[in-house]
Amino acid sequence: MRAHVRDVQDFPQPGVVFKDITPLLATPAAFGAVLDALAATARRLGATVVAGIEARGFLLAAPVADRIGAGIVPIRKQGKLPGPTVTESYTLEYGTAVLEMHADAVGAGDRVLIIDDVLATGGTAAAAANLVRHSGAEVLGLAVLMELTFLAGRSQIPSLEVTTLLAI
């Protein structure tokens, strides 16, 4: 997998090394292996819903949900969803932001696996988990393609089971 992840220096701002997964997405065998591994995690945990975090998390979560026969819920940046939403502010490695989810997207009885491309500082994952919990659903864990271990994101989400396919 690492061979299909490209480092982009100083993006989106100076000092940040962006992990570009576009080459992985363009390689069917590599992308398929990622989806298989994430789907295996979702099945093992008994997920009934997969929540994908904007934007690259959508690219992973939707096909995983399809593979396991689960629903897909988008967790988006503020102002991108129509209708009533629940919101959660968070800090990321280069700023602050707000995530939203439709207020009725999940509820009691739903077992949700959150999927994203990268676990960095843990702020985005913590915010997503809070959105799901506040809506009454059970958060089963977080599954990510990559974990930037030097940023210690797991320390922000100690209650979540984290599945990482590629630790950097």
What's the pLDDT tens digit per position in 79-95? 999 999 999 998 766 67
| 3-class DSSP state of 21 | coil
Mean pLDDT taken over the chain: 95
The span from the CA of 129 to the CA of 112, in Å, is 9
DSSP, res 160: S
- More confident position, 67 or 12: 67
DSSP, res 163: E
Q: Say which amino acid occupies 39.
A: A
Residues assigned a catalytic role: 56, 93
Indicate the pTM of the whole model.
0.95
The span from the CA of 144 to the CA of 81, in Å, is 23
Across the range 48-54, mean pLDDT stands at 98
Q: Is the pLDDT of residue 58 over 90?
A: yes
Closest C-alpha to 63, from 20, 21, 110, 25: 25
Closest C-alpha to 98, from 108, 107, 86: 86
- According to the model, what pLDDT value does residue 57 have? 97
Query: What are the residue boundaries of the structural domains of the chain, listed by start?
Result: 2-167
Interior CA angle at 19 toward 15 and 23, to 5°? 145
Q: Find the helix or strand (DSSP H, E) in which 127 lies.
A: helix 123-134
DSSP, res 136: T
Domain 2-167 = CATH 3.40.50.2020: yes
What's the pLDDT tens digit per position in 87-145? 999 876 667 899 999 999 999 999 999 999 999 989 999 999 999 999 999 999 999 99
